[in-house]
Amino acid sequence: MLQLFPAIDLRRGRCVRLYQGDFDQETVYGDDPVAVARSFAAAGAPWVHVVDLDASRRDGSNRELVVRVADDAGVPVQTGGGVRDGSLLEAGVQRVVLGSVAVEEPQLVRELGERYPGQVAVGLDHWGGEVRTRGWEEGSGQRLLDLVHQLEGDHVAAFVVTDISRDGALVGPDVDGYAELLAATAVPVVASGGVGTLDHLRQLAAIEESGRHLSGVIVGKAIYEGAFTVPEALDALS
């Protein structure tokens, strides 16, 4: 069964969602991220996924809030956005996601992954196959599958892959793209971006390549907008 990761994106201390990664197209869903995390856990979510959008752009930080969520959520927390070391893991976060730094300093992925086995994932956010960095605002000039091959190894807990063009748009996930990823790497893959219905979740759950399935799926806007509940999502993924 795919693991469900309800998402909490933090900007200036509030829960927000962006449309296609555009910081000028922001919707605010609450000012108490800890309470939101607790509600996800109470509904049965096995994880909570937290992104520090300010830190991802090097425009501030929600670090203390991320740690509070990890302390109080009641379930493991996976977090990304500006992560460059293992300090959040030391503070109680279960898994960190290295994004821009994984592209710019790939040796750090191996260093941290070996120091914290099973707790370091790599976040690859792409538009049309080109991986973008710095809060999705800068093109890296590198292709998604090329980076997967460069970075993969036992030290990587998972690849968290977001199709930015679909993120927050509720138009459906890139099913073919995720199937291609599963065929390209033995590292677990967590899907992110585009989920808007329970059928979209079922489509992701049905992907199979050489007996392998996706490891998880991150869902944000669809839950906040009431398209489905956490229990309904868990049922669709089972």
Q: What are phi and psi of 145, to 5 degrees?
A: -65, -30
Q: What is the 3-state secondary structure (H, E, C) of 161-226?
A: EEEHHHCCCCCCCCHHHHHHHHHHCCCCEEEECCCCCHHHHHHHHHCCECCECCCEEEECHHHHCC
- Residue 71 annotated as catalytic: no
Q: How far apart are CA 238 and CA 235, in angstroms?
A: 5
Neighbours of 82 (CB within 10 A): 26
- Residue of 52, 54, 125, 163 marked active site: 125
- Residue 72 annotated as catalytic: no
Helix (H, G, I), strand (E, B) or coil at 147: helix
* Residue carrying structure tokens 């099973």: 118
Q: How far apart are CA 33 and CA 69, in angstroms?
A: 7
Q: How far apart are CA 60 and CA 74, in angstroms?
A: 26
* Residue carrying structure tokens 């799926």: 217
- Residue of 9, 52, 54, 163 marked active site: 9
Which residues are CB-contacts of 121 (< 8 A; sequence separation ≥ 6)? 78, 80, 95, 96, 97, 98, 156, 157, 158, 159, 160, 190
Active site residues: 9, 125
